[in-house]
Structure 1
Amino acid sequence: MAEIWGRAEQQDFRSRVRGCLLGGAIGDALGAGIEFDSLAAIRAKHGEAGVTDYVPAYGRRGAITDDTQMSLFTVDGLIRAHVRRDTGTWHPPTDVHRAYLRWAATQADWGPDERDADAGWLAREEWLYSQRAPGRACLSGLGDDRMGTLAQPKNPGSKGCGTVMRSAPFGLLVGWEPGLVCQLAVECAAQTHGHPTGYLAAGALAVLVHALAHGNSLEEAVQQALTQLAVHSGHEETTQALRSALEAARQGPPSAARVESLGQGWTAEEALGIGVYCALVAEDVRHGLLLAVNHSGDSDSTGSICGNLLGVQHGETALPPAWVVELEGRETILQLADDFSMQMTQGAALTGASAWLSRYPVSG
């Protein structure tokens, strides 16, 4: 695709990719320290405005959770899929599944296995070897080597938000058609969560990110997601969550009460609805992210989804610098974002490059 990407387009795309990944991680980190607290408890501890900055979690400020961990491995899997395509083989769900298995190893092992030549560079990042309240369905779905599929999904009754919080990177496949982006996110979500709402919410977020990456407004992106959802059976809960987010945005000034009217975010459609609502009514990135985390529920996941949306919409320079510099793993996130951008825009020039294949081995 290098021939059709001008320099300005490449720079814009890289800014949106960085914004999406960093924005999601910032929202994740803002919610990490209050994830299991009620709104009343948050306000009692942090003041009537709730949290207005990072609060300590996992021994530091700016700590990310499993939401960001899994999102990074989604990106790793997508890069490897494209590297593998350049070598003549192509099945992205398998590459993403292998990446998720590498994430699962970070939740069980003490550290990276330096003897594993197929691990690639991301799986050798020691700071990722830390449990950050991973979801049970994600762990059990990746507890063996069998890949869940739509025909035989893992955890067929689960619709937890562990699908949607990791699925924004699929939307960054801007050269794909929206329906294919949605389908890939859905297939990869079924690897851990088999309820239609669980995997369709993941597909919807991917379509939202895809539309925003193409310069559409968030309202236009929601309409595109609704169109894609309509062709899938079992879409009703996810469709209603998006419609409820649109309706809440029209009802008046944004508030925590309106956020909580959409649910708590523990399920996939509620997390999606809250993240979309907060991005819709955001005055700026800071306002949207703080609204997304100050509620009684899964604050890190709703913050992450809102951050993905605002980040891809406005690019990395719209993110509050003080939050960027204190974010755990910022260097890793930026390296991965830039590698993804380079593979998508200049992949042909990387074909066969030994250093690139060392970072993203085709055998892994």
Structure 2
Amino acid sequence: MTQALSRYDRVLGCLIGGAVGDALGYQVEFDHWDSIKAAFGPDGVTELRYNQISDDTQMTLFTAEGLLEASAGDEYESVRSAYLRWYATQKEYLPPAGAQGLAAEPWLYARRAPGNACLSGLREGARPGVNPDSKGCGTVMRSAPFGLHFGPHAAFVLAERCSALTHGHPTAGASAGAFAMIVAHLMNGETPQRAVSATMLHLRSGIDPSETADALQAAYRLAGNVTPGPNTCAPLGEGWIAEEALAIAVYCFLGTDDVRKGLTASVSHSGDSDSTGAILGNLYGAAYGHAALPKEWASQVEGRDTVAALAAMMEPFG
């Protein structure tokens, strides 16, 4: 077990940590490693020059709100409604009259490179069957709240099911579910190694092959051989698809408990840096609590007050 932490410490750490990793990576999303190195130096993205979060944190917050507003047994439809509210923020410039909750927050109406499958899936009504071939990482980066709200098995099932609201590929669902399950294990005080191992066993429990389990196995192997650093995650991919984004974050998570170093490694690569950073930030926060996050990053990240307020509301659950 990791050190004793209050549930609130872990919830706040998870949500703020995700926002920090997101903002850190959003500075270089879409950039090639060579361009990142030229702009930030050979040590990678070691500073938060801009505090803006992306669609990753936006959707994570709406996931949390959907769970908080749900009646028991109605979580799926409540999360679906929350995602449709997020979709509305991407079409408008300001909150409409009478808007409530997150939909009333003007800063969340910024369009920060939202994923195409998330937009098209929600435009089509967010029903199972949309984008059947899509396994983009947009399902994973928004799914930490399921692990904050439920135990490991229930978190996996609901995150997997809600993944199909925008991404129909089974691997997108399995990766979202696996991420939520890891978070739930961490919330129970399991070590990073045990949380990841238990999730891999769950993925391997069926007879069908699992791309997500294969990716996590590769992350586990790399973490045991290569200390996370700038662009060391390259063998795992660029993070655009679900299992790759999860694998990059898990590699850094298992490879070092130095939160600053791990977050820097998770975003200092070619590809979807904000998503890999956000996922890792969620993991670090759930494992080690809010105090483990670099203070100068955690204190200035965009939307901190809103994120902290949601964390306070989620704290009693689980």
Q: TM-score range by the shorter chain?
A: over 0.9
Q: Which residue of 2 aligns with 1:67?
A: 56
1:44 to partner: Cα distance: 1.1
1:232 to partner: Cα distance: 5.2
Contact kept in structure 2, 1:170 and 1:206, CA below 8 Å: yes
CA distance in 1, matches of 2:227, 2:10: 28
Give the share of equivalent positions with the same residue, in percent: 48
Q: Which has the larger radius of gyration?
A: 1
CA distance in 2, matches of 1:318, 1:163: 26
* Partner residue of 2:109 out of 108, 129, 147: 129
CA distance in 1, matches of 2:216, 2:142: 18
Contact kept in structure 2, 1:197 and 1:238, CA below 8 Å: yes
Q: Which residue of 2 aligns with 1:249?
A: 223
CA distance in 2, matches of 1:123, 1:322: 28
Q: Which residue of 2 aligns with 1:284?
A: 258
* Deviation sequence 1:126-145 (CA, Å, 0-9, x none): 10001000000000000043
Relative to the length of structure 2, the TM-score reads 0.95
* Partner residue of 1:98 out of 52, 57, 81: 81
1:70 to partner: Cα distance: 0.2
Q: Which residue of 1 aligns with 2:237?
A: 263
1:253 to partner: Cα distance: 2.8
CA distance in 2, matches of 1:274, 1:157: 22
Listed as ranges, the matches of 1:269-348 within 5 Å are 269-342=243-316, 344=317
Alignment RMSD: 1.6
1:234 to partner: Cα distance: 5.6
User: Structure 1 regions of 5+ residues with no counterpart?
Assistant: 1-8, 56-60, 346-364
CA distance in 1, matches of 2:256, 2:15: 18
Contact kept in structure 2, 1:196 and 1:235, CA below 8 Å: no
Listed as ranges, the matches of 1:1-364 within 5 Å are 12-55=6-49, 61-81=50-70, 84-85=71-72, 90-116=73-99, 120-145=100-125, 147-149=126-128, 153-174=129-150, 176=151, 178-231=152-205, 236-342=210-316, 344=317
Letter in 1 for 2:122: L
Contact kept in structure 1, 2:43 and 2:230, CA below 8 Å: no
1:256 to partner: Cα distance: 3.4
CA distance in 2, matches of 1:252, 1:122: 41
1:341 to partner: Cα distance: 1.3
CA distance in 1, matches of 2:153, 2:309: 28
1:110 to partner: Cα distance: 1.7
Cα distance, 1:232–1:22 mapped onto 2, change above 3 Å: farther
* Deviation sequence 1:207-243 (CA, Å, 0-9, x none): 1000111111111111111122234576521001100
CA distance in 2, matches of 1:96, 1:66: 16
Letter in 1 for 2:132: P
Relative to the length of structure 1, the TM-score reads 0.83
Q: Which residue of 2 aligns with 1:359?
A: none
CA distance in 1, matches of 2:227, 2:141: 26
Aligned residues: 315
SS in structure 1 at match of 2:137: coil
* Deviation sequence 1:174-203 (CA, Å, 0-9, x none): 4x3x22211100000000001111111000
Contact kept in structure 2, 1:248 and 1:258, CA below 8 Å: no
CA distance in 2, matches of 1:285, 1:256: 14
1:310 to partner: Cα distance: 0.4
Structure 1 consecutive aligned stretches of length 4 or more whose deviation exceeds 6 Å: none
Contact kept in structure 2, 1:265 and 1:297, CA below 8 Å: yes
Q: Which residue of 2 aligns with 1:362?
A: none
SS in structure 1 at match of 2:220: helix
* Deviation sequence 1:231-260 (CA, Å, 0-9, x none): 457652100110001000111333335301
* Worse overlay, 45-54 or 222-231: 222-231
Letter in 2 for 1:254: P
CA distance in 2, matches of 1:270, 1:168: 17
Cα distance, 1:324–1:253 mapped onto 2, change above 3 Å: closer
1:49 to partner: Cα distance: 1.0
SS in structure 2 at match of 1:131: coil
CA distance in 2, matches of 1:155, 1:257: 31
CA distance in 1, matches of 2:291, 2:59: 24
Cα distance, 1:232–1:91 mapped onto 2, change above 3 Å: farther
Q: Which residue of 2 aligns with 1:354?
A: none
CA distance in 1, matches of 2:227, 2:200: 25
Contact kept in structure 2, 1:170 and 1:184, CA below 8 Å: yes
1:109 to partner: Cα distance: 1.1
Letter in 1 for 2:118: C
